[in-house]
């Protein structure tokens, strides 16, 4: 019987052993390499329709499990900040949320980005607040859904996965807080909810989207040029509360008594959602005069949904000799003008500084 030489047997055994060992070790090595390459992104869940299934709200962990392909894109972890409708978040929680995000980036240098879930009703306000108070150029992406998890056609998991992809995308860095729904990326400063029910509700109207999220990649077309995030001067690290600022709409025959009542109840600022490019109505001028005489800032915005209130009108009220208390909102929507005014007053800015802020942010 033919016998293979011992040396050859040893050699083949050695080669086979090494080869088999290499093959066995390769998946583990590849997995480790892939784990190191994938960006680390954290989910901070606050609630909203995206979580509001029949019988109880989805937790942060359940939201993460709703995306089977998530591991292809990121190393994800999550935390539950709140689990309520967006309109139930308090201003104190806003401050806590901004501090939580800032602290997460400070404590974990490996963290590439943060995704925040929010109800859509006041999502644009929360996103703009974070745009002014999160002090990093790393991506913060706010995501929601128009349908709840118990509804046929629930788009929450798809929006959330796209939010993670945007947060992990290197090109998202330095673009401010981003809002991602319906395959579109919008700037927190510009986006607004335009429809109570439709999936395409979040739009930036005359400005357009920053980019899109497609199956192959994240694509950007432009950036927002106003100051935000890492360039922001607003520091909320030790801020205990935000001052009261009320939004009052201009409509035919409106009474100035509402402005006076807001001032008497402690408002430090008033935002007028004016008709057209700044018009008031009824006795509202009397209310404005009363406000500025009490040292309350009055910011004029427009209720039209787009357009700019010129800063050249700043400095004096229409019937007031009190300098600096009339501010032009530029192109900020009334609810976002309120956010900026709250932070400006909290920073003890005077009228000239507040007008500068509205021009820059």
Q: Report the alpha-carbon distance of residue 100 to residue 234 in Å, rounded.
A: 15
- The DSSP 8-state label assigned to residue 218 in this structure reads E
DSSP assignment of 155-173 equals -HHHHHHHHHHHHH-GGGT
Q: Considering 46, 49, 112, 120, which one is annotated as catalytic? A: 49
Q: Report the alpha-carbon distance of residue 140 to residue 354 in Å, rounded.
A: 26
Q: Report the alpha-carbon distance of residue 178 to residue 210 in Å, rounded.
A: 9
Alpha-carbon distances of 220 from 144, 150, 164, rounded to whole Å:
20, 33, 15
User: Does the annotation count 192 as an active-site position?
Assistant: no
Q: Report the alpha-carbon distance of residue 197 to residue 119 in Å, rounded.
A: 13
The torsion defined by the Cα of 9, 10, 11 and 13, in degrees rounded to 10, comes to 80
Residue 329 backbone phi and psi in degrees, to 5: -80, 0
Q: Report the alpha-carbon distance of residue 123 to residue 333 in Å, rounded.
A: 14
Catalytic residues: 49
């Amino acid at each position: 019987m033919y016998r293979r030489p011992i040396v050859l047997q040893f050699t083949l055994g050695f080669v086979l052993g090494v080869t088999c060992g290499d093959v066995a070790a390769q998946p583990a090595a590849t997995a480790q390499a892939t784990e190191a390459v994938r960006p680390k992104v954290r989910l901070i869940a606050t609630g909203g329709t995206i979580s509001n299934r029949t019988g109880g709200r989805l937790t942060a962990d359940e939201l993460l499990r709703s995306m089977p392909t998530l591991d292809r894109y990121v190393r994800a972890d999550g935390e539950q900040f709140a689990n309520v409708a967006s309109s139930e978040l308090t201003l104190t929680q806003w401050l806590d949320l901004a501090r939580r995000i800032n602290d997460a980036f400070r404590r974990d240098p490996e963290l590439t980005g943060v995704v925040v879930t929010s109800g859509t009703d006041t999502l644009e306000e929360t996103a703009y607040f974070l745009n002014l108070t999160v002090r990093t150029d790393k991506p913060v992406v706010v995501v929601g859904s128009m349908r709840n998890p118990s509804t046929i056609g629930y788009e929450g998991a798809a929006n959330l996965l796209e939010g993670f992809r945007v947060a992990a995308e290197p090109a998202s860095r330095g673009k401010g807080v981003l809002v991602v729904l319906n395959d579109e990326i919008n700037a927190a400063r510009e986006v607004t909810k335009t429809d109570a029910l439709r999936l395409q509700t979040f739009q930036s109207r005359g400005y357009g989207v920053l980019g899109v999220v497609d199956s192959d990649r994240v694509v950007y077309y432009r950036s927002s040029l106003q100051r935000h995030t890492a360039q922001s001067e607003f520091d909320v690290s030790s801020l205990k509360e935000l001052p009261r600022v009320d939004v009052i709409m201009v409509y035919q025959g409106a009474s100035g008594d509402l402005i006076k009542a807001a001032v008497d109840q402690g408002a430090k600022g008033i935002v007028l959602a004016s008709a057209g490019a700044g018009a008031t109505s009824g006795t509202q001028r009397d209310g404005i005069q009363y406000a500025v005489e009490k040292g309350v800032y009055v910011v004029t915005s427009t209720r039209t949904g787009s357009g700019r209130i010129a800063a050249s009108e700043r400095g004096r009220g229409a019937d007031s000799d009190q300098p600096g208390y009339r501010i032009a909102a530029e192109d900020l929507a009334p609810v976002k003008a309120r956010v900026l005014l709250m932070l400006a007053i909290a920073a003890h800015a005077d009228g000239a500084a507040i007008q500068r802020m509205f021009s820059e942010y």
